[in-house]
Amino acid sequence: MEIQFQSDIGRRRHTNQDYANVFTNQADMYLAILADGMGGHLAGDVASKMAVDGLGAAWSTSTISQPEEASQWFLQEIQKVNEAIYQEGITHPEMQGMGTTIVSAALLNETFVLAHVGDSRAYLIQNDQLKQLTDDHSLVNELLKSGEITAEMAATHPQKNILTRSVGVSGQVKIDVSHHHCQANDYLLLCSDGLTNMVSEADILSVVTSDQTLESKTKQLISAANEAGGADNITVLLIHFEGAACP
């Protein structure tokens, strides 16, 4: 298994509020995490880094190797991160209301467990096909699912960035957790909306399935988003399941 990730400020933002990292636990299992922060001043930066570092620290001391364990772990630890970010905002009024998306994958033998809140996405690229594994927690996606708007309208909707769920709220946050199987030569892509709002799924698939190194594919996806306008921070975390068993 190979993992590459890169984050870029884009062409229109003054700060990068995205954050990503990869961690290993005591059972040598990997956790990949990507977060897209929101909030004024530097609050979005703080929220995304708190989410990634908080989950990463908890994973590093765990011995989780089974999907059921990982699912329960995600539910517990993301709640803890949610509370920590909320309390940080209360303690520092200039950061009040900050929050972040999270999309994270625990990579366990021949399966992986996904957890996500918000509109950062996970895609599986398998047999030269791209499948979105996450469901955006956004107002526009709710309108799309209810049939009130079309996919074409959703792409340019003025309220595209309004989330229905984020991490850093008072009380409990609802977390989507799912199990998936992987095959040799599959790719798992975690990304912020700075990629998906700028680059079509067809173009993402073309880059991921191209004959380049994983690092080059990651950089090309970032470049494509910037070439299309770079309206937001762009973060790409790409995992290649290489062997007969994955990871």
* DSSP string computed for 157-208: -TTTT-BS--BS-SS----EEEEEE--TTEEEEEE-HHHHTTS-HHHHHHHH
Q: What is the CATH class of 2-241?
A: alpha beta
Extents of the domains making up the chain: 2-241
Is 60 within 8 Å of 96 (Cβ atoms)?
Answer: no
In this prediction, residue 41 carries a pLDDT of: 66
Mean pLDDT for back-to-back runs of 10 residues, the chain (247 residues): 96 94 98 93 90 98 97 98 96 93 95 97 97 92 84 78 92 97 95 96 98 97 97 96 67
pTM of the model: 0.94
Rounded-to-integer distance, Cα 84 and Cα 170, Å: 10
